[in-house]
Chain A
Amino acid sequence: MDRMEQPLPSHRKGIGITVPKGDPQEILRLKDIKKYFPLKAGFFSRIQGTLRAVDGVSLNVRRGEIFGLVGESGCGKTTLGYVAGGLLPPTEGRIFFQGRDMTDGKGRYSAEEVQFIFQDISGALNPKWLVREIIAEPLAILGEAPRERRKKTEAMMERVGLTPECLEAYPHELSGGQRQRVSIARAMVTRPRLVICDEPFSALDVSVQAQIIRLLMELKGEMDLTYLIISHDLTLLEYLCDAVAVMYLGEVVEEAVPAERLFAEPLHPYTKGLLDSFLFADPNRQRIDKMEILAGEVPNPIFPPEGCRFHPRCKWAEAFCKKHKPLLRSVGAGRRVACHLA
């Protein structure tokens, strides 16, 4: 069924009136998003400190694009994805989805606007529900009639390449690849506008991974989707993404549209370090003993370094970098970088 045949839900009317000035192609805009978690301890759960998981991130995601978020553990990429998709409220900052302010107290995503595909597939599927019930749940939330639900569930299940027997199975009876297809079917069954994929491929075998990537790309073409993909796999992001942002300790350090320019010519020392350290599956690349591997580990995000947060690991860091925090600034069309030296 074509999406256009369906009547617009009431909250979606008025698009175009409330769109703030800016890019009409924009689907998601994050403005100075901060997400802090208080760290509690002791008998009275007193606040002992603050984890600044996301610390002032602004991003624009355009309709129909694949936007990649990359970074190491603790950089805040997953938290940012959750905030962007409405699973966590931001501590500060504004979120605009198709021009609507989602942070003014009234804004709420509907199941046919944003959906998630989670990293931990087993944890994301209710073990006590049949696959049929799992896939149909978003439709039930939207108040669709049982007959309609059944029809759409079966169609979507066939589309993602699951056999009819899978519908009557429990998640634990399926293989990892099949479970990932179930979580894709659940996300896509409402024909959402934006799908946030958190490490959607990391737990899968090579051949299954290729099948799932192909499926997501086909669905994107068929349903005019926008993807926000959170990953640490640089090969994948280089292959898939139109735009890409690199995060380090809660901040965006570099951003590029089109994404390939970031891979061809990284500007931030951290991006360069990531690319130099990544093990590309190519026998003609340098072997491990010749690679220039980024030294050190990501510091504890509860006590991020002063100045540029990357300076303790940066081989070009100067005294200035240790005192002053670099701002994310434009350097040429489609590129932003937060480094004093770039």
Chain B
Amino acid sequence: MALLSVRNLRTYFHLHMGTVKAVDGISFDLEAGKTLGIVGESGSGKTVTCLSLLKLIPMPPAEIVGGQAYLEGRDLLSLSEKELRGIRGRKMAMIFQEPMTALNPLYTVGEQIAETIRHHQAVTRAEAFEMAVEMLAAVSIPLPRLRAKSYPHQLSGGMKQRVMIALAMSCRPKILIADEPSTALDVTIQAQILRLIHELKSRTGTSVILVTHNMGVITATADEVMVLYLGKMVEKGEVYALFNQPRHPYTQGLLDCILKPSGRRNLPKILPGFIPHPINRPSGCPFHPRCPKRKTLCAVEEPPVVRDGRQETVCWLYV
């Protein structure tokens, strides 16, 4: 039994230029204690998928048109705003790419963590602050008691991201959603942050949904990976298998684009063409105009999900 089951999630944006189907029929299961990586290029819907689960998208212009997301038997998408406030932070927490904009510049980081704790737990102000200091220590911030009294601008980028993680983990959520948690950081800090998320996950049994466009982040941390293209899933599978034997032509093309030292100074392989604007998504399989293996059917009808062991591929080639 999966911890989180998302079925046929559809989130559309109604804009004056037309409707953008940002997420269009995405389904996945997240097991307890596992890390699911969601990869895709700009406009693939990876961030909107996560924001939809917590209803953190602006509605309107966005609208969750359909689907279910079951967490412990309850459909998150049908909950009221009041009920959701008990879920956000408590059951499911999120960390963002830009810790500078996600933290409030007017409050100390200790106050911000304590506020979250007090929202969900019946503790006094002083107790909450003590718990915040403990959380800062848990994310390996040196001198946590002193740092709890710092404002966000007094911390480095890596430290701010650690604070974000402390904030998200402060109520021991079942699921941590990390949207590009390490993208803006330096090479060594990036690895440190991902290691920290991994350690907290192992200690608390939290499941992680990790959104990124960096394949290195996926191969280092994810158990399962889901590849999105223009709001649709194209392939999903166990990381090792998917990277070694990608089945969908888009995944194959995407992984071929990754530079390998063995190919030094050769012209890199490329995926021809551009990602179309999401407002005019191609008919049938959205990847068909760029696909080297397309058949006439691909432009007409959407391909079904084809299962091969744990790997799922949405492509007519394997039907």
Contact = CB atoms under 8 A, between A and B. Distances in A.
Q: Which of B199, B217, B274 has the most CB atoms of chain A within a 10 A radius of its CB? A: B274
A287 interface: yes
A206 B254 contact: yes
A279 B185 CA distance: 13
B28 interface: no
A209 B257 contact: yes
Nearest to A275: B187
A236 B191 contact: no
Contact of B270 (A207, A239, A263, A287): A207
Interface stretch (B218-226, B295-303, B308-316): B218-226
Interface string B234-270: 0000011001100000000110011111011101111
Interface string B266-279: 01111100110000
A238 interface: yes
B42 interface: yes
Contacts of B216: 235, 278-282
B187 A213 contact: no
Interface stretch (A21-29, A55-63, A291-299): A291-299
B145 interface: no
Interface in A187-221: 205-211, 213-214, 217-218
B188 A293 contact: yes
Size bracket, chain B contacts: 35 or more
Given A260-B264, A274-B187, A297-B158, A288 B214 contact: no
B187 A238 contact: no
A72 B274 CA distance: 31
Given A177-B274, A206-B41, A297-B158, A291 B191 contact: yes
B271 A73 contact: no
Given A206-B258, A207-B271, A235-B259, A283 B219 contact: yes
Contact of B186 (A232, A279, A280): A232
Interface in A217-241: 217-218, 232, 234-236, 238-240
B189 interface: yes
A289 interface: yes
Contacts of B275: 175, 205, 207
5 contacts: A205-B41, A207-B41, A213-B268, A289-B198, A293-B191
Given A297-B156, A297-B158, 10 more contacts: A72-B187, A206-B215, A217-B268, A235-B216, A239-B259, A273-B188, A277-B188, A278-B187, A288-B198, A293-B195
